[in-house]
Structure 1
Amino acid sequence: MGRIKILPEEIASKIAAGEVIQRPESVVKELIENSIDAGAKNITVILKDAGKALVQVIDDGCGMSEDDAVIAFERHATSKIETYEDLENIRTLGFRGEALASIAAVAQVEMKTRTQEDELATLVKIEGGKIIEISKTSHPIGTSIAVKNLFFNTPARRNFLKSNYTEFKHAYEAFIRFAIAYPEISFELISDDELISKFEATDFETRIKQIFGDEFFKTLIPVDEKTEYVSIYGFISKPEFSRKTKADQFIFLNRRYIINRSINHAVYNAYEHLIDKGNFPSFILMILIDPRHVDINVHPSKLEVKFDDEQGIYNFVRAVVKHSLSKFNLIPEIEIEPSGGIKLHPPSEIEEIKQKLINLTEPIKEKIQKEQQYSLEFLTSSFPEAMTAIQAKEDIKKVEKISQEIQSAISQSVEERGEEGISFMQIHNKYIIAQIKTGIMIIDQHVAHERILYERALDSLNSRSPFTQQLLFPQTIEVTPADMAVVKEIKEHLESLGFDLRIFGKSTIILYGVPPEVKQGSEKKIFLEIIELYRENSNAEPNLSVRENLAKAFACKTAIKAGDKLTPEEIQVLIDQLFLTRNPYVCPHGRPIIVKIPIEELDRKFGRI
């Protein structure tokens, strides 16, 4: 006889079960998916010993006939798909036909099920994959599946289960994910005869409040965008409520919970420098897409998916999250404490501007740039939204146009401002102060200019259409081997920024031209500083892209410095350019650009209130 043998069905079933059922959480997940696919409006989950002794799921779905109830425990038995074409257009949570067979192979299962047409329910008992009883019993319309003594016949697998606390935590998290995704269904969780959670059927927003509480909900920003290809809705946390862990991050694809690093990174990247390094935002995002554009048949757990346009989804999520963040005031406020100290408050929400922006195209952008008479406060609240929306259009190509004409908003702002205009004052050649309707606004001139140059540099690097100012006398620069290696690595990107340079030998660079932002007489110094800072950034942030790293270094070293005196005209140009950036609130390194002192705070300090 040969050495290769076909495994007995019993062993093959246990191996297959190991891929699908890993712990009580897997049982909870698979059974709730079946209940939802059956059209249930009420689902109850009962656990004993954290699911090790019992996992029972009771629903009021369509139920099964006796024939279906028996065959449902066979491997690859399913009502969800019939042909290969169905596999490419999956609209149900379950479809493999493996869950019940896998559960039955490693547990003692008792199922009661009844359809609306049947007077009596069907009772099926299975132990270790073998049917031991089929009979009739009483039971309301729907299905109840009790899974007892999980892994009773595979003690090695049972020994790998963690403590009751850990197993319950995993099961509870699975339960919560379904409760989030299906607010129209009533969910109930009972553990060791104690009611843990009960969520009545409601709408999506109320369900979030039911699960996480009103206080958590107040920290969230709504997200909502629809296109023909993909749509997204849900909530993201305000930047000041970011956390040190990745807790409370949920992504649902067609209401199926998934794990996707690309989407997670898109959300994180959208926050740019609004959150501290090492912190993470919370989010609950529901992504809707035609099933034909996504493959969920990647892994038995169905947690991993593949998109036919991964980059497009990444850009869409990033742009929409950035657009949602732009609707809220990200300018911190200052409170002067009795001791004389200054306390920086996190941002508060902006009042929604009465007239939102429409037809955000380049001609309108040019029109905005020509307007010189609207108030600084209107700029602060409105332009980030406008500019981010423009970026969103570029990123996802087709973001739905948002409402109403911009000119009426500008006119209204001009009317509120009056004829006197806004005056700016530079103090200590470092900060710019302006009076606004709600108090005083203070701008750090260096980081403001840094933000302007950073975005301008990114645009040049992305478009590769630099503007170079040729030097009257080319400058020769001697560099170290380490710096030369950096220059050779990023030479193409330096040229995209506007540097015209040639490399001679192992340590010589000749500079023929520089970007117009480089101060005359400082070309050599600034060039070397950019290379040095680029290298430092690479060591500190290894995952930073070449373009972003170079843009940061360029902006930092060419920006106006603290101590540089500015003329009134230069101040006005700086302010105008700042509020035309996509993110005028923080510099590329995360430092605030603007702070506000509310008039109420000044009144309080002087004893007026």
Structure 2
Amino acid sequence: VQQLFFNTPARRKFLKSDTAENQRIIATLKRFVLACPRISFELWLDGRQYFSFKKGNVRERIADVFGHDIGERLIEMDHSLAGVRLHGFIAPPDLKRKSRSHQHLFLNGRPIQDRSLSYAIYQGYGETLKEGEHPLFCLYLTLDPSLVDVNIHPTKMQVRFSNDRSLYYMFLNSVSRTLSKSGALPSITLDGSAQAAVIAGMSAGEEEKGKSGRKERPAPLPARKKKNAQQLSLAYFGGKENVEKTGGGQHGHSGEHHRFWQLHGSFVLSEIKSGLVIIDQHLAHARILYEDTLSRLNAGQPSGGQKLLFPQKITLALDDFLVFKDINGYLEKIGFLIRVFSGNTIVIEEMPADVKIGRESQILLDIIDYYKNAPHGQMRHTEKIAAAFAFKNAYKTGEVLSEAQMHALVDQLFACETPFYAPNGKPAIISMDIEELKARFR
């Protein structure tokens, strides 16, 4: 393609970076590649061959696109009823990701997007998915073309089914049965007559809407003016006399005179002069890691990592590999040492010392997903990398902390430049006035 913007030069100004545009190209290519596994495809970028897909079956093609590590664990499903066939592959719940980039649905060989059917797939996974976790799937739906209207959107990506409620229950039940048969879920399914009734359109009730209810992350707040850590601690954990009792040191606010309690493995509570302070341990720890990681990135010199006894080999998906190449230089500055093995297969040789043991591969995939999909407004690359690493390596909700860990968390949080907010703009600390508490009992 040459002189693409000859007649519309104004549109050229709206192009993003080369990496962003390449990701869009790959996203489009993935849909064609997965829709037509019996056709060979090649991708060339900057004058060199980037990927080559040989024709094969559906499982082989999915493994080429998603990565062979994922392809080996996919679960095949094939269900037909009342002239409708649903077949393809879904991943076990433990292969969940932090983005929807590995979700593909095809209707009669064409890619589509349907919120209701996607929601049915999520429901089929039951309680194995938490908020912010997304299953991997590549499913092919075949039915009579007269039962679907494909002309409701110019791109043909959105369609309208005449029997959408019936399809909703077919998707839900098929996914649930497939996972149950594989041992990933308890076996709970509709009997044959009930399912046939649903597919025939005999079920009553309101049409199910495919809304997940997940909220978008708010844009990050502008950085606040740095305050003295001791001044911030005085405002929350008592007056000047408390610091004097402990020698006025850095940890004066969390000395023996002050105690912390953990609530539901998620919140750190403490008494303060005006009432009660509640700290979200995940968001607070993310703020600490964010500012520490950002300082290392801005230092310019790579920080030493921890060498792995057994290097981790990972085969990345197409778009994940492109993101990895874009951010690998930043990853080296915070302690990663990753080399390309062959194609889109990489080997992790060193990790930052504060990464939890056993999460070497997952932390990298989480960082890539967060970097690709989280809304960051005008954040710089270093800020996006720091936020991705911080959120994916911070204390998790439900993680039990010792009293020493809670004291350290509070000490480090109030030493941050912006202790009251997480990198995504959510509040990390809230307080309740004693008068508000008293009013609750009146």
Bin for the TM-score computed over the shorter chain: 0.3 to 0.5
Question: Which structure's relative contact order is higher, taking Cα pairs within 8 Å and 6+ residues apart?
Answer: 2
Q: Please say which structure displays the higher CA radius of gyration.
A: 1
**Normalising by the residue count of structure 1, what TM-score does the alignment of the two structures yield?**
0.33
| TM-score, normalised relative to structure 2 | 0.45
